[in-house]
Amino acid sequence: MSSYLEQKFGLRGKVALVTGSSQGLGQAMARALAQAGADVIVNGRVASKLTPIVKEIEALGGKATAIAADLGDRASVQRLIEQSIAWQGHLDILVNNAGTIKRAPAADYSDADWDLVLNVNLTGVFTACRAAGRHMIARGSGKIINIASMLTFFGGFTVPAYAASKGGVGQLTKAFSNEWASKGVQVNAIAPGYMRTENTAALQADPVRTKEIMSRIPANRWGEPSDLEGAIVFLSSSASDYLSGHIMAVDGGWCGR
């Protein structure tokens, strides 16, 4: 990498927290940030599931640690941010990736599923942004990247809580950006298209929905977790210092169809 590209896109000396990074999109983004030079905190509810990605990052020559936390619990989220800051004394990058989904027809959707999805996907994101943002504002710099969804823009089917939560993530991204961009903290979001992950297993197994989805993706394929690597490094780096409040669709052209 040339010195110019290292300066603009390199993350050496930065500390990044990626929530929900034991697998799928979060794991791919944590790996990409480490390869760009960042020290990475990986997170999930079960500590033992985080060991493989920590070892993988260390094998690549990076530095990583794991902090288990339940993103559906406010106190747990607050502790996660505090422990992340304490690890190296600062936190430069927060990636709010942790999320959950529950499927049922809207007329039959349970209160329990609604509360669970909103607590993890929206309240957890708000709590993490607020706690990390206070630290970043005091330091005069920071990057927050929230993981939105195609359902930030569309309503979807049989996932009313997920659609509501991801719509909220898009608005939170803009709201925090409006207040914090002038303080050196850029808040953006990535809206992944239809990705091959555990969350989309039900869709991948449904031949009718799969056909409908594929017919609308100009790239003519589902996305892979690795497709987010470039976007997450860019939004975490100084190359994106004048980008704030933006929701970047990484969707194979879906939104343009």
Which candidate in 4, 109, 162, 194 is catalytic? Answer: 162
List the domains of the chain with CATH numbers.
Answer: 3-249 (3.40.50.720)
Dist CA 163 CA 174 (whole Å)? 17
Mean pLDDT of 183-208: 92
pLDDT band at 9 (very low <50, low <70, confident <90, very high): very high
The number of CA neighbours under 13 Å toward the Cβ of 90 is 14
Using the predicted structure, report yes or no on whether residue 245 has a pLDDT greater than 80.
yes
> 70-107 pLDDT, tens per residue?
999 999 999 999 999 999 999 999 999 999 999 999 99
Cβ neighbours of residue 80 under 8 Å, at least 6 residues apart? 17, 19, 43, 67, 69, 71, 128
Determine whether 194 is an active site residue. no
Mean pLDDT of 206-232: 94
| Per-residue pLDDT at 6 | 83
Entry pTM: 0.96
Dihedral angle, C-alpha 69, 73, 75, 79, nearest 10 °: 20
| Per-residue pLDDT at 209 | 86
> 124-169 pLDDT, tens per residue?
999 999 999 999 999 999 999 999 999 999 999 999 999 999 999 9
As a whole number, the mean pLDDT across the chain is 96
- Output the CA torsion sign for 205, 228, 79, 62: positive
Residues of the chain with pLDDT > 70: what percent? 99
pLDDT band at 1 (very low <50, low <70, confident <90, very high): low
Nearest CA-CA partner of 144 in 113, 175, 109: 175
**β-bridge mates for residue 17, sequence order:** 41, 94
Nearest CA-CA partner of 151 in 121, 185, 114: 121
